[in-house]
Amino acid sequence: MSSNNIQEQKCPACGAPMRFDAASGKLVCDWCGTEIDISQDTQVTEEQQAVLDEKDGEDVSGFDFGALQHQVFKDDAEQLPIYHCKSCGAELISDWEQVTLTCPYCKNNIVLTDRVAGALRPDGVVPFRITSDQLPGAVNRFYKGKKLLSKKFFSQASMGRVTGLYVPFWVFSGKLDGTVDFTGQKSHSYRQGDYEITEVSHYNLHRMVDLDFADLPVDASDKLDDALMDSLEPFDLTDVKAFDPAYLAGFAADRFDVPADDMQRRAEDRMMNTAYESARSTCSGYSGVVSKGGHIRADVKAKYLLLPVYLFEIMQGGRSYSFAVNGQSGKVVGDLPDDKGFKFKYFLVRAAAVAAATLLISAARYFMGA
Amino acid sequence: MKRFAALLAAVMMTLSCAAPLLGPAYADELPRVIDRAEILSQAEIESLEEDSAAFRETYGIDFVFVTVPSYDYFGYGSELADIAEEIYSAEAYGDETDGSAAFAVWCSDVEELELKLFGGAEEKISDDYVRFVLERAPGYYDEYGDWGPLYASIRFCQNYLDDHKDDPAPVPAADPAEPQQGQSPAAAVTGGKPDWYPEDPAHFQFFSNGNASRVVDVADIFSDEEEAKIEARCWEIIDKTGKDVVVFTDVSSYGLEQNVYCADFYDFNGYGFGDEREGLCLLFCMDPDDRGFMTVATGSQTRALFTQQNSNLMDDILYEHAVKAEYAEGVLAWQDTVETLYTKGTPIAPEWLPEIGESYTRVHRSEDPNAPLGYVDDQAGFFYPEEIPEIEAAAAQAADQYGIDIMIHTLRTPTGMDSNEYAEKYYFYNGIGRGNGYDGILLVMYPYADSVIYAEGSAGEKLTDVNLGRMAGHIYPLTDENDYKGAALTFIEDTAHMMKTGRVARSLASWLSTGVLGSVFGTIFGGASLGTAKRTMKTPRTRTDASDYVRGFRLTEHNDNYLFTSTSRRYIPPQRTSSGGGHSSGGHSSYSSSFHSSSGASHSSSGRKF
């Protein structure tokens, strides 16, 4: 690979590497303090908006996932690509999914432009809104209300390295329409002599529904846990910017690596479930409503966006617990330690307290003559 | 009595004179009563066998009675008719020439009857009439037990065949006891009504006939001596209370409800005294199909006293004699309850209860020579003689220590008063209590109802609802086990503790049950808390819906199409409880607080079948 496939974010004043600052939304030089407003350079132009709009209207099935996957797997079969740092000339090796690099020699922030060019170019990017400095506060808020989290965890836990990562997402919009059939019952009982007669009338409930969906994100990275990414929702997609490599400066970024069928199936499954539930909600007045199936057509389209996520681990007792933070809203998700002894103690204290309170109240009532 | 005898003679004549059309032959060795459920007595079986033989001889139809238990009925998933079919096809029942047979199959558990006809019997009795029998005959179960519906079914068939013996084609017969639609109750008796019935009952002008006989024995169930004795007692009560007492017997109620017929007799014959024609009228209806007695109360004062509880008690006393055919004795006992009802407000009253309007000055029992002495008044005989001194001693010690009176009273005979009212009156009219506040506590124990505790003065102040509940909680289990001595001693002990500390002691079992209850609450609360807390620990969850991303929902078409209806039925066992007070000697009363006679006058009534 030549150095033509990389783009550096260097300070125009002093030539030092620049990074994207989430707090100000600008490119910042930590050496001379120069700030560059990305929006001056990367405001969504009419031409770029046209491209985004065009993507909005593009059918996922029309996107050449096959060719892209073929390229990914073909490249994987060969040796990993080598890039040359423009600043110091060092040779850099990256994973196939990596979009950004930081030169280990000169700390230069590098965007691998061939990974985000052409068909691989994202339709947009949602920039980080919160900074890594705000993460401890967000994590502390996350701990609140977690009654099974022992004090030992607070005292011993330590946050590992925080990675700001632009995660590739496919964002689906579209329409579902079709028919769903349910069976439902209406019953009434009456007395006849010494018998209670119950009559149950059975009905077929036919429903034709039409639903519009917009901006359903499905993470396109195989390396990240789907449940973790689902739990970070919602993302505010009104804040989406036209893609500019400048937003990636100082952050890690991946490109998609999940087969097209899986992504579209996941999105359509979620939409389909909602369509069935919406149809079922119209069957009021019936009991025992059971779906008999139906036929719903999906017409969905996708945009390829990079969404901001912080990833970090918390170490405690020799174990690490993975966490993710929505880089836009600060929402934290992650598993917490499951301490069986602490849980038993938690149960026992409450059970004993209520039992003791019952006895005390009873005794007080007795001695007060109540 | 003469009319009833004539009716029986007519029936017997019909039975003996009607000859079979052909000379059918039957398998006489087969039983005509198949009591699979084993619910009929030997006497009932023999009676039905005789009825079947007479029926077979008279009408040429082999009538078979079958009883089945519910598991036989439901166990094979068969209908009662299937059981009849099975027996008919397996055995040689029926006339040999045309196979005429009728099977009355009765399942007592579900109170269902089936009347299944075979062979020539299907031509002789119409389907409509069979349905009529099936509708009416089970109703006789309540009064006559399992024998009732079976006997009613053969009697109905007998009536039908008598009525239609000359008919070329069977026609459903109307129920002779049922007024026809569109006719008034008075019109329903047209043709057979008693002479005293007015032409236009709705516009009848009431009159008073103070000299009329108070005993009218149309059914002839009293001897002349008995009739004179009852008549004399009626006048005795009338003279004492100023309220009328009338006893009337008949062999039929002429298609009317018995209470309406009884009230009509009272209204149309000028009975009752005063503007509201105050009085009680007792009807004995000796109709074999509807035998029972009915008391009707007229006038606001009488009706106010004739409550459901009082009337049930009066019915109890009458019923005990009526079922033994001791009619005169029953009426005389009933008259005693009438007199007590009018004078003391309750059908059975203790001697110490003053009459209504009688003045009474409350005094301590030490000043009343008629009041019970000591601390135990064991009228029910719950205690052995050797137990009483022990109880007396314990009560005396507690009473003297805390300056209150303590009384333990047992009672076997029910009264028209409820148990709380009785305890209060017993306490009041027997001068129980010490000092000006009549400080004391009373325990009344019954064999058929929960015990009652009543207190006044300083004891009454300490007998809070909680203390009363605890005391009852200690005493009831003992009385339930007939440990009346234990109950009395516990009552005294609890009273002493209550007077000393202000509270009745809780038992160890009570504390333990509270502990167990607290543990259960704690476990539930702890489990629920843990479950809630655990849910907050697991935040990554795979989303399976897209409800947050719906931007529009339209229901473009909907059709709700009916497919079919399924029906299930659940058997609810009938509840057979007395509608009267807390104690009943047998049968159950039908009480009506208000109904109208044919004249439109309002009355109350209560009566029983026997």
Cα-to-chain-centroid distance, residue B107: 23
Residue B546: which of A207, A271, A346 has the nearest Cβ?
A: A271
Task: Round to whole Å and give the CA distance between B98 and B561.
Answer: 52
A121 Cα to chain B: minimum distance (Å): 25
CB B246 within 8 A of CB B213: no
Q: Which residues of A touch B565 (CB under 8 A)?
A: 199-202
A360 Cα to chain B: minimum distance (Å): 10
User: Domain residues of chain B, as ranges?
Assistant: 16-163, 185-349+592-609, 365-501
**Residue B81 carries which side chain, given as an amino acid letter?**
A
Tell me which of B357 and B286 has the higher pLDDT. Answer: B286
In chain B, the residue whose alpha carbon lies closest to the alpha carbon of A204 is: B561
Q: Which residues of B touch A300 (CB under 8 A)?
A: none
What are B485's two structure tokens?
């001595």
In chain A, the residue whose alpha carbon lies closest to the alpha carbon of B530 is: A347
Q: Which residues of B touch A204 (CB under 8 A)?
A: 559-561, 563
Q: Which segments of A144-282 does DSSP mark as H helices, in order?
A: 151-156, 226-231, 260-280
Task: Round to whole Å and give the CA distance between A333 and A228.
Answer: 7
Task: Round to whole Å and give the CA distance between B141 and B83.
Answer: 21
Q: What is the pLDDT of residue B74?
A: 55
Q: What is the pLDDT of residue B131?
A: 85
Closest alpha carbon to B247 in B257, B239, B232: B232
Asked, colleague to colleague, whether B185-349+592-609 and B365-501 share their fold, the answer is: yes
- Vertex B363 angle, CA B358 and B365, to 5°: 115
Please check the confidence at residue B176 and state whether its pLDDT lies above 50. Answer: no
Which of B498, B550, B561 best probes binding to A when mutated, by most A CB atoms within 10 angstroms?
Answer: B550
Contacting residues for B461 by C-beta, under 8 A, at least 6 apart: none
In chain B, the residue whose alpha carbon lies closest to the alpha carbon of A324 is: B540
DSSP label of B533: H
The verdict on a CB contact (< 8 Å) between B563 and A210 is no
DSSP structure string for A103-132 = -TTT--EEEEGGGGSGGGS-SEE----S-G
Which of A143, A169, A208 best probes binding to B when mutated, by most B CB atoms within 10 angstroms?
Answer: A208
Task: Round to whole Å and give the CA distance between B327 and B350.
Answer: 25
* Side-chain-side CA neighbours of residue A37 (13 Å): 3
The rounded mean pLDDT for chain B is 83
Please check the confidence at residue B565 and state whether its pLDDT lies above 80. Answer: yes
DSSP label of B573: P
Summarised one tens digit per residue, pLDDT across range B224-244 is 899 999 999 999 999 999 999
Closest alpha carbon to A21 in A131, A123, A124, A96: A131
Residue A351: which of B522, B543, B566 has the nearest Cβ?
A: B522
Number of A to B CB contacts under 8 A, please give it.
216
Task: Round to whole Å and give the CA distance between B123 and B99.
Answer: 12
Torsion of CA A272, A277, A282, A288, to 10 degrees: 130
C-alpha distances in Å from residue B599, one per residue of A186, B133, B190, B246, B266? 49, 33, 16, 18, 11
DSSP structure string for A213-241 = EEEEEEE--TTS-HHHHHHT----GGG-B
Mean pLDDT of B419-446: 91
Task: Round to whole Å and give the CA distance between B478 and B366.
Answer: 31
Mean pLDDT of B55-79: 77
Task: Round to whole Å and give the CA distance between A193 and A198.
Answer: 13
A115 Cα to chain B: minimum distance (Å): 29
In chain B, the residue whose alpha carbon lies closest to the alpha carbon of A344 is: B530
Please check the confidence at residue B490 and state whether its pLDDT lies above 70. Answer: yes
Q: Could you tell me which CATH number the domain at B365-501 has?
A: 3.10.310.50
Which of B136, B506, B510, B543 best probes binding to A when mutated, by most A CB atoms within 10 angstroms?
Answer: B543
**Helices (H), strands (E): how many in chain B?**
20, 15
Mean pLDDT of B207-218: 88
In chain A, the residue whose alpha carbon lies closest to the alpha carbon of B463 is: A369
Q: Which residues of A touch B552 (CB under 8 A)?
A: 210-212
Give the end-to-end CA distance of chain B in Å, rounded to a whole number.
Answer: 18
- Vertex B91 angle, CA B89 and B97, to 5°: 80
Q: How many CB atoms lie within 10 A of CB B586?
A: 13
Residue B540: which of A177, A183, A227 has the nearest Cβ?
A: A227
What are A91's two structure tokens?
């040779």
B450 Cα to chain A: minimum distance (Å): 23
Q: Give the residue carrying structure tokens 């046209």.
A: A50
In chain A, the residue whose alpha carbon lies closest to the alpha carbon of B555 is: A209
Residue A270: which of B545, B553, B572 has the nearest Cβ?
A: B545
Cis peptide before B198 (omega within 30 of 0): no
**ipTM (interface pTM):** 0.77
In chain A, the residue whose alpha carbon lies closest to the alpha carbon of B565 is: A201
Please check the confidence at residue B192 and state whether its pLDDT lies above 60. Answer: yes
In chain B, the residue whose alpha carbon lies closest to the alpha carbon of A178 is: B556
Contacting residues for B583 by C-beta, under 8 A, at least 6 apart: B313, B316, B414, B448, B449
The verdict on a CB contact (< 8 Å) between B564 and A367 is no
Closest alpha carbon to B20 in B82, B81, B95: B95
**Three-class DSSP labels, B54-96:** HHHHHHCCEEEEEECCHHHHHHCCCCHHHHHHHHHHHCCCCCC
DSSP structure string for B396-439 = HHHHHHHT-EEEEEE--S--SS-HHHHHHHHHHHTT-SBTTTTB
Residue A202: which of B526, B554, B564 has the nearest Cβ?
A: B564
Q: How many CB atoms lie within 10 A of CB A78?
A: 7
In this structure, the strands spanning B376-378 and B405-410 are: parallel
Task: Round to whole Å and give the CA distance between B411 and B352.
Answer: 14
A196 Cα to chain B: minimum distance (Å): 5
Task: Round to whole Å and give the CA distance between B474 and B488.
Answer: 10
Residue B216's SS3 state is strand
The verdict on a CB contact (< 8 Å) between A357 and B518 is yes
B527 Cα to chain A: minimum distance (Å): 6
Q: Give the residue carrying structure tokens 């009595």.
A: B1
Q: Could you tell me which CATH number the domain at B185-349+592-609 has?
A: 3.10.310.50
The verdict on a CB contact (< 8 Å) between B536 and A205 is no
In chain B, the residue whose alpha carbon lies closest to the alpha carbon of A368 is: B503
Confidence of residue B527 (pLDDT cuts 50, 70, 90): very high
The verdict on a CB contact (< 8 Å) between A227 and B542 is yes
Buried/exposed code over A37-76 (b: 16+ C-beta within 10 A; e: otherwise): ebeeebebeeebeebbeebeeeebeebebeebeeebeeee
Task: Round to whole Å and give the CA distance between B445 and B477.
Answer: 13
Mean pLDDT of B277-303: 91
Task: Round to whole Å and give the CA distance between B48 and B29.
Answer: 15
Give percent of chain B with pLDDT exceeding 90: 37
Please check the confidence at residue B117 and state whether its pLDDT lies above 80. Answer: yes
User: Domain residues of chain A, as ranges?
Assistant: 3-169+220-257+305-338, 172-212+267-301, 339-370
The domain B16-163 having CATH identifier 3.10.310.50: the answer here is: yes
Closest alpha carbon to A303 in A126, A125, A44, A123: A123
What are B47's two structure tokens?
């009676």
Task: Round to whole Å and give the CA distance between B537 and B554.
Answer: 38
Phi, psi (deg, nearest 5) at residue A218: -130, 120
Q: Give the residue carrying structure tokens 């990974």.
A: A115
Closest alpha carbon to B296 in B59, B20, B598: B598
Q: What is the pLDDT of residue A75?
A: 47
CB B440 within 8 A of CB B457: yes
pLDDT along chain A (370 residues), means of 10: 60 75 80 72 50 46 45 48 70 69 71 69 87 82 79 67 87 93 92 82 94 92 85 88 82 75 84 94 92 91 89 80 88 82 89 92 76
Q: Which residues of B touch A359 (CB under 8 A)?
A: 514-515, 518
The verdict on a CB contact (< 8 Å) between B517 and A202 is no
Q: What is the pLDDT of residue B14?
A: 38
Task: Round to whole Å and give the CA distance between B568 and B188.
Answer: 40
In this structure, the strands spanning B279-285 and B112-118 are: unpaired
A273 Cα to chain B: minimum distance (Å): 6
Tell me which of B247 and A262 has the higher pLDDT. Answer: B247
Please check the confidence at residue B16 and state whether its pLDDT lies above 60. Answer: no
DSSP structure string for B436-478 = TTTBEEEEEE-SSS--EEEEEHHHHHH--HHHHHHHHHHHHHH
Please check the confidence at residue B502 and state whether its pLDDT lies above 70. Answer: yes
Q: How many CB atoms lie within 10 A of CB A279?
A: 26
Phi, psi (deg, nearest 5) at residue B428: -70, -50
In chain A, the residue whose alpha carbon lies closest to the alpha carbon of B461 is: A369
The verdict on a CB contact (< 8 Å) between B560 and A198 is no
CB B557 within 8 A of CB A206: yes
B452 Cα to chain A: minimum distance (Å): 21
Which of A366, A367, A368 best probes binding to B when mutated, by most B CB atoms within 10 angstroms?
Answer: A366
B184 Cα to chain A: minimum distance (Å): 27
Least reliable range by pLDDT among A194-198, B291-295, B455-459, B523-527: A194-198
Tell me which of A92 and B564 has the higher pLDDT. Answer: B564
Mean pLDDT of B270-283: 92
Q: Which residues of A touch B142 (CB under 8 A)?
A: none
Q: What is the pLDDT of residue A296?
A: 92
Task: Round to whole Å and give the CA distance between B491 and B500.
Answer: 14
Summarised one tens digit per residue, pLDDT across range B349-397 is 888 888 888 888 888 888 877 777 889 999 889 999 999 999 999 999 9
Task: Round to whole Å and give the CA distance between B33 and B35.
Answer: 6
Confidence of residue B278 (pLDDT cuts 50, 70, 90): very high
Which of B111, B545, B562 best probes binding to A when mutated, by most A CB atoms within 10 angstroms?
Answer: B545
